[in-house]
Protein backbone atom coordinates (compact mmCIF):
# COMPACT_ATOMS: atom_id res chain seq x y z
CA UNK A 1 0.00 0.00 0.00
CA UNK A 2 1.25 3.48 -0.85
CA UNK A 3 1.90 5.55 2.29
CA UNK A 4 5.10 7.48 1.79
CA UNK A 5 5.57 9.62 -1.28
CA UNK A 6 8.61 11.33 -2.75
CA UNK A 7 8.31 14.19 -5.22
CA UNK A 8 11.46 15.03 -7.16
CA UNK A 9 11.63 18.69 -8.10
CA UNK A 10 9.83 21.39 -6.15
CA UNK A 11 9.23 23.83 -9.03
CA UNK A 12 5.92 24.90 -10.59
CA UNK A 13 4.50 21.37 -10.67
CA UNK A 14 6.47 19.56 -7.97
CA UNK A 15 5.44 21.76 -5.05
CA UNK A 16 1.75 21.55 -6.04
CA UNK A 17 1.91 17.77 -6.45
CA UNK A 18 3.47 17.43 -2.99
CA UNK A 19 0.88 19.81 -1.54
CA UNK A 20 -2.04 17.74 -2.95
CA UNK A 21 -0.74 14.47 -1.54
CA UNK A 22 0.05 16.00 1.87
CA UNK A 23 -3.35 17.74 2.06
CA UNK A 24 -4.94 14.31 1.76
CA UNK A 25 -2.91 12.72 4.55
CA UNK A 26 0.20 11.34 2.81
CA UNK A 27 3.73 11.88 4.11
CA UNK A 28 5.65 13.61 1.36
CA UNK A 29 9.38 14.16 0.90
CA UNK A 30 10.39 16.73 -1.70
CA UNK A 31 13.83 16.65 -3.30
CA UNK A 32 14.96 19.98 -4.72
CA UNK A 33 18.49 20.49 -6.00
CA UNK A 34 18.27 24.23 -6.61
CA UNK A 35 18.85 26.06 -3.32
CA UNK A 36 16.92 29.17 -4.43
CA UNK A 37 13.79 27.10 -5.12
CA UNK A 38 14.34 24.88 -2.06
CA UNK A 39 14.30 27.86 0.32
CA UNK A 40 10.83 28.94 -0.84
CA UNK A 41 8.94 25.66 -1.28
CA UNK A 42 7.26 25.58 2.11
CA UNK A 43 6.42 29.30 1.90
CA UNK A 44 4.78 28.76 -1.52
CA UNK A 45 2.75 25.80 -0.28
CA UNK A 46 1.67 27.63 2.88
CA UNK A 47 0.52 30.61 0.87
CA UNK A 48 -1.58 28.39 -1.46
CA UNK A 49 -3.11 26.52 1.48
CA UNK A 50 -3.94 29.83 3.17
CA UNK A 51 -5.59 31.04 -0.03
CA UNK A 52 -7.67 27.84 -0.18
CA UNK A 53 -8.74 28.40 3.42
CA UNK A 54 -9.67 32.05 2.69
CA UNK A 55 -11.89 30.74 -0.11
CA UNK A 56 -13.58 28.37 2.40
CA UNK A 57 -12.22 25.33 0.55
CA UNK A 58 -10.17 23.83 3.39
CA UNK A 59 -10.32 24.16 7.19
CA UNK A 60 -7.77 26.29 9.10
CA UNK A 61 -6.25 23.27 10.89
CA UNK A 62 -5.57 21.57 7.54
CA UNK A 63 -2.88 24.16 6.80
CA UNK A 64 -0.53 23.16 9.63
CA UNK A 65 -1.47 19.47 9.36
CA UNK A 66 -0.51 19.51 5.65
CA UNK A 67 2.75 21.37 6.25
CA UNK A 68 3.69 18.93 9.03
CA UNK A 69 3.53 16.05 6.53
CA UNK A 70 6.04 17.66 4.13
CA UNK A 71 9.84 17.45 4.41
CA UNK A 72 12.25 19.10 1.99
CA UNK A 73 15.61 17.48 1.09
CA UNK A 74 18.69 18.50 -0.87
CA UNK A 75 19.84 14.90 -1.40
CA UNK A 76 17.68 12.73 -3.65
CA UNK A 77 18.51 9.47 -1.92
CA UNK A 78 17.40 10.80 1.47
CA UNK A 79 14.05 11.87 0.00
CA UNK A 80 13.36 8.72 -2.02
CA UNK A 81 14.94 5.74 -0.30
CA UNK A 82 11.93 4.83 1.88
CA UNK A 83 9.20 5.99 -0.49
CA UNK A 84 6.48 3.69 -1.85
CA UNK A 85 5.66 5.99 -4.76
CA UNK A 86 8.10 8.41 -6.38
CA UNK A 87 7.06 10.98 -8.94
CA UNK A 88 9.57 13.13 -10.77
CA UNK A 89 8.67 16.68 -11.80
CA UNK A 90 12.10 17.87 -12.91
CA UNK A 91 12.84 19.77 -16.14
CA UNK A 92 11.44 18.30 -19.39
CA UNK A 93 14.72 16.69 -20.49
CA UNK A 94 14.93 13.00 -21.36
CA UNK A 95 18.59 12.62 -20.33
CA UNK A 96 17.94 14.18 -16.92
CA UNK A 97 14.84 12.06 -16.31
CA UNK A 98 16.67 8.85 -17.33
CA UNK A 99 19.64 9.72 -15.11
CA UNK A 100 17.31 10.24 -12.16
CA UNK A 101 15.38 6.99 -12.71
CA UNK A 102 18.64 5.04 -13.07
CA UNK A 103 19.92 6.40 -9.78
CA UNK A 104 16.59 5.77 -8.00
CA UNK A 105 16.54 2.19 -9.24
CA UNK A 106 19.86 1.55 -7.54
CA UNK A 107 18.61 2.26 -4.00
CA UNK A 108 14.80 2.49 -3.87
CA UNK A 109 12.70 -0.36 -2.45
CA UNK A 110 12.02 -3.15 -4.95
CA UNK A 111 8.27 -2.58 -4.59
CA UNK A 112 8.46 1.22 -5.02
CA UNK A 113 6.54 2.61 -7.99
CA UNK A 114 8.22 5.23 -10.23
CA UNK A 115 6.23 7.89 -12.08
CA UNK A 116 7.04 10.73 -14.45
CA UNK A 117 5.03 13.92 -14.80
CA UNK A 118 6.35 14.46 -18.33
CA UNK A 119 4.20 16.60 -20.64
CA UNK A 120 5.65 15.43 -23.93
CA UNK A 121 8.25 12.65 -23.55
CA UNK A 122 7.57 8.97 -24.18
CA UNK A 123 7.62 6.47 -21.33
CA UNK A 124 9.20 3.94 -23.69
CA UNK A 125 12.32 6.15 -23.87
CA UNK A 126 12.61 6.16 -20.05
CA UNK A 127 11.98 2.48 -19.36
CA UNK A 128 15.51 1.37 -20.47
CA UNK A 129 16.98 3.49 -17.63
CA UNK A 130 15.70 1.00 -15.04
CA UNK A 131 15.87 -2.76 -14.48
CA UNK A 132 13.41 -5.08 -16.24
CA UNK A 133 11.69 -5.75 -12.92
CA UNK A 134 11.23 -2.03 -12.23
CA UNK A 135 9.79 -1.49 -15.72
CA UNK A 136 6.71 -3.28 -14.38
CA UNK A 137 6.37 -0.51 -11.78
CA UNK A 138 6.91 2.59 -13.89
CA UNK A 139 4.37 4.90 -15.45
CA UNK A 140 3.36 8.38 -16.53
CA UNK A 141 1.23 10.29 -14.02
CA UNK A 142 0.51 13.59 -15.70
CA UNK A 143 -0.82 16.49 -13.66
CA UNK A 144 -2.23 19.83 -14.82
CA UNK A 145 -1.10 23.26 -13.65
CA UNK A 146 -1.88 24.49 -10.97
CA UNK A 147 -1.42 20.97 -9.63
CA UNK A 148 -3.05 21.61 -6.25
CA UNK A 149 -6.29 22.83 -7.87
CA UNK A 150 -6.69 21.11 -11.24
CA UNK A 151 -8.69 17.94 -10.56
CA UNK A 152 -7.30 15.77 -13.38
CA UNK A 153 -4.60 13.09 -13.45
CA UNK A 154 -3.74 11.21 -16.64
CA UNK A 155 -2.29 7.80 -15.76
CA UNK A 156 -0.56 5.53 -18.26
CA UNK A 157 -1.70 1.94 -18.59
CA UNK A 158 0.48 0.98 -21.55
CA UNK A 159 0.78 -2.73 -20.79
CA UNK A 160 4.17 -2.67 -19.04
CA UNK A 161 2.58 -2.99 -15.57
CA UNK A 162 0.41 -5.67 -13.97
CA UNK A 163 -3.21 -4.53 -13.54
CA UNK A 164 -2.87 -4.66 -9.74
CA UNK A 165 -0.17 -1.96 -9.75
CA UNK A 166 -2.17 0.28 -12.04
CA UNK A 167 -5.18 -0.13 -9.73
CA UNK A 168 -3.07 0.77 -6.68
CA UNK A 169 -1.92 4.02 -8.28
CA UNK A 170 -5.39 4.78 -9.60
CA UNK A 171 -6.73 4.43 -6.03
CA UNK A 172 -4.00 6.78 -4.78
CA UNK A 173 -5.23 9.48 -7.17
CA UNK A 174 -8.89 8.85 -6.33
CA UNK A 175 -7.94 9.24 -2.65
CA UNK A 176 -6.66 12.75 -3.37
CA UNK A 177 -9.85 13.69 -5.26
CA UNK A 178 -8.41 13.66 -8.77
CA UNK A 179 -10.42 12.48 -11.76
CA UNK A 180 -8.38 9.76 -13.38
CA UNK A 181 -8.04 9.50 -17.15
CA UNK A 182 -6.55 6.14 -18.12
CA UNK A 183 -4.23 6.49 -21.11
CA UNK A 184 -3.94 3.29 -23.12
CA UNK A 185 -1.33 4.30 -25.72
CA UNK A 186 2.07 5.97 -25.39
CA UNK A 187 1.29 9.03 -27.55
CA UNK A 188 3.04 12.40 -27.03
CA UNK A 189 0.90 14.81 -25.01
CA UNK A 190 -1.50 12.05 -23.85
CA UNK A 191 -5.12 13.25 -24.16
CA UNK A 192 -5.76 16.57 -22.38
CA UNK A 193 -2.75 18.41 -23.84
CA UNK A 194 -3.56 17.21 -27.35
CA UNK A 195 -7.11 18.57 -27.04
CA UNK A 196 -5.74 21.84 -25.68
CA UNK A 197 -3.21 22.19 -28.53
CA UNK A 198 -5.95 21.57 -31.12
CA UNK A 199 -7.95 24.47 -29.68
CA UNK A 200 -4.86 26.68 -29.31
CA UNK A 201 -3.82 26.10 -32.95
CA UNK A 202 -7.13 27.48 -34.22
CA UNK A 203 -7.14 30.34 -31.69
CA UNK A 204 -3.64 31.50 -32.78
CA UNK A 205 -4.65 31.18 -36.42
CA UNK A 206 -7.82 33.27 -35.90
CA UNK A 207 -5.59 35.91 -34.32
CA UNK A 208 -3.02 35.75 -37.10
CA UNK A 209 -5.81 36.29 -39.64
CA UNK A 210 -7.36 39.11 -37.56
CA UNK A 211 -10.78 37.48 -37.62
CA UNK A 212 -11.60 39.16 -34.29
CA UNK A 213 -9.72 41.11 -31.62
CA UNK A 214 -7.61 39.07 -29.14
CA UNK A 215 -10.09 39.99 -26.39
CA UNK A 216 -13.06 38.81 -28.46
CA UNK A 217 -11.35 35.54 -29.48
CA UNK A 218 -10.80 34.71 -25.81
CA UNK A 219 -14.38 35.83 -25.06
CA UNK A 220 -15.71 33.48 -27.76
CA UNK A 221 -13.89 30.58 -26.13
CA UNK A 222 -14.81 31.45 -22.52
CA UNK A 223 -18.52 32.06 -23.14
CA UNK A 224 -18.88 29.62 -26.04
CA UNK A 225 -17.29 26.16 -26.13
CA UNK A 226 -15.39 26.39 -22.82
CA UNK A 227 -18.56 27.39 -20.95
CA UNK A 228 -20.01 24.02 -21.92
CA UNK A 229 -16.74 22.13 -21.57
CA UNK A 230 -16.49 23.12 -17.88
CA UNK A 231 -19.28 20.63 -17.21
CA UNK A 232 -19.69 18.53 -20.35
CA UNK A 233 -17.25 16.58 -22.54
CA UNK A 234 -16.97 17.03 -26.31
CA UNK A 235 -18.51 13.63 -27.08
CA UNK A 236 -21.47 14.41 -24.81
CA UNK A 237 -21.83 17.84 -26.46
CA UNK A 238 -21.83 16.19 -29.90
CA UNK A 239 -24.48 13.68 -28.83
CA UNK A 240 -26.63 16.49 -27.45
CA UNK A 241 -26.35 18.59 -30.62
CA UNK A 242 -26.91 15.65 -32.97
CA UNK A 243 -24.18 13.76 -34.82
CA UNK A 244 -25.73 14.56 -38.22
CA UNK A 245 -25.21 18.30 -37.55
CA UNK A 246 -21.63 17.73 -36.29
CA UNK A 247 -20.92 15.76 -39.46
CA UNK A 248 -22.22 18.48 -41.83
CA UNK A 249 -20.48 21.30 -39.93
CA UNK A 250 -17.22 19.28 -39.81
CA UNK A 251 -17.31 18.79 -43.59
CA UNK A 252 -17.99 22.51 -44.15
CA UNK A 253 -15.50 23.99 -41.67
CA UNK A 254 -12.53 21.68 -41.24
CA UNK A 255 -11.17 22.21 -44.75
CA UNK A 256 -10.95 25.93 -44.00
CA UNK A 257 -9.26 25.62 -40.61
CA UNK A 258 -5.61 25.63 -39.57
CA UNK A 259 -3.89 22.27 -39.93
CA UNK A 260 -0.27 23.39 -39.53
CA UNK A 261 2.29 21.02 -38.03
CA UNK A 262 4.24 23.54 -35.99
CA UNK A 263 3.67 26.44 -33.64
CA UNK A 264 1.99 29.50 -35.20
CA UNK A 265 4.39 32.22 -36.53
CA UNK A 266 2.78 34.90 -34.32
CA UNK A 267 3.54 32.78 -31.27
CA UNK A 268 7.15 32.29 -32.40
CA UNK A 269 7.56 36.02 -33.10
CA UNK A 270 6.36 36.91 -29.59
CA UNK A 271 8.86 34.46 -28.10
CA UNK A 272 11.69 35.94 -30.21
CA UNK A 273 10.74 39.42 -28.98
CA UNK A 274 10.91 38.23 -25.37
CA UNK A 275 7.15 38.68 -24.95
CA UNK A 276 6.56 35.49 -22.98
CA UNK A 277 3.27 36.37 -21.30
CA UNK A 278 2.70 37.28 -17.65
CA UNK A 279 6.21 36.32 -16.56
CA UNK A 280 7.82 38.96 -18.84
CA UNK A 281 5.06 41.57 -18.46
CA UNK A 282 3.70 41.13 -22.00
CA UNK A 283 2.38 38.35 -24.21
CA UNK A 284 -0.82 38.73 -26.19
CA UNK A 285 -1.86 41.22 -23.47
CA UNK A 286 0.18 43.57 -21.21
CA UNK A 287 0.55 43.03 -17.44
CA UNK A 288 1.78 45.23 -14.62
CA UNK A 289 3.25 43.56 -11.51
CA UNK A 290 0.07 44.39 -9.56
CA UNK A 291 -2.19 43.02 -12.33
CA UNK A 292 -0.26 39.75 -12.40
CA UNK A 293 -0.96 38.97 -8.75
CA UNK A 294 -4.58 40.07 -9.06
CA UNK A 295 -5.19 38.00 -12.22
CA UNK A 296 -3.55 34.89 -10.76
CA UNK A 297 -5.65 35.22 -7.59
CA UNK A 298 -8.82 35.71 -9.64
CA UNK A 299 -7.93 32.66 -11.75
CA UNK A 300 -7.37 30.51 -8.64
CA UNK A 301 -10.61 31.79 -7.08
CA UNK A 302 -12.54 30.78 -10.19
CA UNK A 303 -10.90 27.32 -10.16
CA UNK A 304 -11.95 26.85 -6.53
CA UNK A 305 -15.51 27.92 -7.38
CA UNK A 306 -15.50 25.38 -10.23
CA UNK A 307 -14.14 22.69 -7.90
CA UNK A 308 -16.96 23.36 -5.45
CA UNK A 309 -19.72 23.38 -8.08
CA UNK A 310 -18.41 20.72 -10.48
CA UNK A 311 -18.98 17.98 -7.89
CA UNK A 312 -22.71 18.27 -8.78
CA UNK A 313 -22.07 17.36 -12.42
CA UNK A 314 -19.88 14.29 -12.04
N1 LIG B 1 4.28 23.62 -15.98
C2 LIG B 1 3.28 22.90 -16.44
O3 LIG B 1 2.21 23.45 -16.80
C4 LIG B 1 3.37 21.41 -16.51
C5 LIG B 1 2.19 20.65 -16.53
C6 LIG B 1 2.28 19.24 -16.52
C7 LIG B 1 3.53 18.64 -16.55
N8 LIG B 1 4.66 19.43 -16.54
C9 LIG B 1 5.95 18.72 -16.51
O10 LIG B 1 6.44 18.72 -15.17
C11 LIG B 1 7.87 18.74 -15.18
C12 LIG B 1 8.36 19.93 -14.39
O13 LIG B 1 7.86 21.11 -14.97
P14 LIG B 1 7.72 22.48 -14.15
O15 LIG B 1 6.81 23.34 -14.94
O16 LIG B 1 7.42 22.20 -12.72
O17 LIG B 1 9.20 23.04 -14.28
P18 LIG B 1 10.00 24.06 -13.33
O19 LIG B 1 10.98 24.75 -14.22
O20 LIG B 1 9.09 24.90 -12.51
O21 LIG B 1 10.78 23.09 -12.35
C22 LIG B 1 11.80 22.27 -12.85
C23 LIG B 1 12.36 21.47 -11.70
O24 LIG B 1 13.45 20.69 -12.23
C25 LIG B 1 14.52 20.80 -11.35
N26 LIG B 1 15.78 20.54 -12.06
C27 LIG B 1 16.24 21.19 -13.15
N28 LIG B 1 17.46 20.68 -13.48
C29 LIG B 1 17.73 19.68 -12.59
C30 LIG B 1 18.81 18.80 -12.40
N31 LIG B 1 19.88 18.82 -13.20
N32 LIG B 1 18.74 17.90 -11.38
C33 LIG B 1 17.66 17.86 -10.55
N34 LIG B 1 16.61 18.70 -10.68
C35 LIG B 1 16.66 19.59 -11.68
C36 LIG B 1 14.43 22.23 -10.83
O37 LIG B 1 15.23 22.39 -9.68
C38 LIG B 1 12.93 22.33 -10.58
O39 LIG B 1 12.60 21.72 -9.35
C40 LIG B 1 8.28 18.74 -16.64
O41 LIG B 1 8.49 17.44 -17.07
C42 LIG B 1 7.05 19.33 -17.33
O43 LIG B 1 6.95 18.96 -18.69
C44 LIG B 1 4.62 20.78 -16.49
Q: Of all protein residues, whose CA lies closest to atom 27 belonging to ligand 1?
A: 91
Nearest by Cα to 151 from 178, 182, 170, 180: 178
**CATH code for the part of the protein at 4-183:** 3.40.50.720
The verdict on pTM exceeding 0.75 is: yes
Closest CA to 86 of 38, 12, 27, 147: 27
C-alpha 130 to ligand 1 mean position (Å): 21
What does each of the 314 residues of the chain score in pLDDT, given as a tens digit?
A: 999 999 999 999 999 999 999 999 999 999 999 999 999 999 999 999 999 999 999 999 999 999 999 999 999 999 999 999 999 999 999 999 999 999 999 999 999 999 999 999 999 999 999 999 999 999 999 999 999 999 999 999 999 999 999 999 999 999 999 999 999 999 999 999 999 999 999 999 999 999 999 999 999 999 999 999 998 999 999 999 999 999 999 999 999 999 999 999 999 999 999 999 999 999 999 999 999 999 999 999 999 999 998 875 54
User: Sheet harboring 85-88: ordered strands across?
Assistant: 70-73, 27-31, 4-8, 85-88, 113-116, 138-143, 152-156, 179-183
- Cβ atoms of 42 and 18 within 8 Å: the answer is no
Q: How far is the CA of 142 from the centre of ligand 1 (A)?
A: 12
**Domain 196-313 belongs to what topology?**
1.10.1040
Q: Which of 7, 13, 76 to mutate to test the pocket of ligand 1 (most atoms within 8 A of CB)?
A: 13
Instruction: Report the pocket of ligand 1 as residue ranges, CB < 6 Å.
Output: 9-14, 32-34, 37, 89-92, 96, 117-119, 142-143, 145
Structural domain boundaries of the chain? 4-183, 196-313
Amino acid sequence: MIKNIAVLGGGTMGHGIAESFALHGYNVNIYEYDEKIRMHIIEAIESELTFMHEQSYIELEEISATLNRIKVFDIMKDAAVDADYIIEAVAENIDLKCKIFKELDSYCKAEAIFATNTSSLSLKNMLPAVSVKRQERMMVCHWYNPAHLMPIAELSNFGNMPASIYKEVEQLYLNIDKHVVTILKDVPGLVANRIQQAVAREVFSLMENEVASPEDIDKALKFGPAFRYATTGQLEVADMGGLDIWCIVGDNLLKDMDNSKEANPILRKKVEEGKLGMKSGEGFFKYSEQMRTQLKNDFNKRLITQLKTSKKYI
